[in-house]
Amino acid sequence: MQRMQKVWKMLNGLHDIFLIAVFAAMVLLAVYSLWDSAWILSDASDASLRNYKPGEAETASVSPITDEQIGWLTVEGTNIDYPLMQGEDNYVFLNRDPYGNYSMSGSIFLDSRCNPDFSDGYSLIYGHHIEFGRMFGALDDFLDEKYLRAHSRGTLYLGRDGARRLQLEFIAAMRADARDRIFFDPDNGAKAAGQIVSRADVLIAEPEGRLVALTTCADTSSEDRLLVFAKIIGS
């Protein structure tokens, strides 16, 4: 009987140790998650980049941003105001900031298959979905028609010096599967306009002329992507 009691006592002790270990692991995981989120948000909120925006105090000639910068993207009334990068493939800037350093928040970048002068009929720009509207986290709000109408203007500064500028008029927003070859393969961009008209969740103007799509993950639990479409105004 005493032997059995000792066994039960030992098992109870092991059970308590196991519960403490599980609790400690959960606390550590929570702390790591908070630290990781703060680190990603900090990277995405790097205000030093604005010093190198075309027309600001600094000039492109002294900019530490890598030579893979092809311009700058600004969407009025949002936090989208970033250097626009383009790598030799679409993996280069997923986890690399405009200075060339490793970064979980990555960069805003043009699809490697698109022409950097935006002469294509359809151009695709990617960015991570970061909280508080950082990077392309701001695209969520464009699914609301009222918001889209109030934030329908943007500017593409071409080249490191932004000498040439293209005005953007945002016209539509939607969710789509990441495997959709119409919207995520620039080579099929000629078909995009018709699909936008028939499939957009929000549409406030007709898609015509050269189109630009901004895209990011819709959520972490699906293959859906958010797409916000703009047409280029002028040459």
**Three-state secondary structure of 31-76:** HHHHHHHHHHHHHHCCHHHHHHCCCCCCCHHHCCCCCCEEEEEEEC
What pLDDT was estimated at residue 3? 63
- Residue 18 in any domain: the answer is no
Euclidean distance between CA atoms 119 and 132, whole angstroms: 32
- Residue 34 in any domain: the answer is no
What pLDDT was estimated at residue 9? 63
What pLDDT was estimated at residue 58? 54
Q: Where are the beta strands (DSSP E) in 98-205?
A: 108-110, 122-126, 153-158, 164-177, 202-203
Answer whether residue 219 shows pLDDT above 60: yes
Q: Phi and psi of 195, rounded to 5°?
A: -70, -35
CATH of residue 113's domain is 2.40.260.10
More confident residue, 19 or 98: 98
Reduced DSSP (H G I as helix, E B as strand, rest coil) percent helix, strand, coil of the chain, to 5: 35, 25, 35
Average pLDDT, the chain: 84
| Highest mean pLDDT of the ranges 8-12, 190-194, 218-222 | 190-194
20-24, 32-36, 83-87, 119-123: lowest mean pLDDT where?
32-36
- Residue 182 in any domain: the answer is yes
What pLDDT was estimated at residue 125? 98
pTM: 0.80
- Residue 165 in any domain: the answer is yes
Domain total in the chain: 1
For residue 128, the enclosing domain spans 47-233
Task: Report the chain's terminal Cα–Cα distance, integer Å.
Answer: 92
- Residue 4 in any domain: the answer is no
What pLDDT was estimated at residue 31? 31
Residue 34: pLDDT band (50, 70, 90) is: very low
- Residue 25 in any domain: the answer is no
Q: Phi and psi of 158, rounded to 5°?
A: -95, 140
Residue 33: pLDDT band (50, 70, 90) is: very low
| Highest mean pLDDT of the ranges 58-72, 127-141, 201-215 | 201-215
Answer whether residue 60 shows pLDDT above 80: no
Interval 122-173: pLDDT, tens: 999 999 999 777 899 999 999 999 999 999 999 999 999 898 999 999 999 9
- Residue 12 in any domain: the answer is no
Answer whether residue 39 shows pLDDT above 50: no
Answer whether residue 42 shows pLDDT above 60: no
- Residue 156 in any domain: the answer is yes
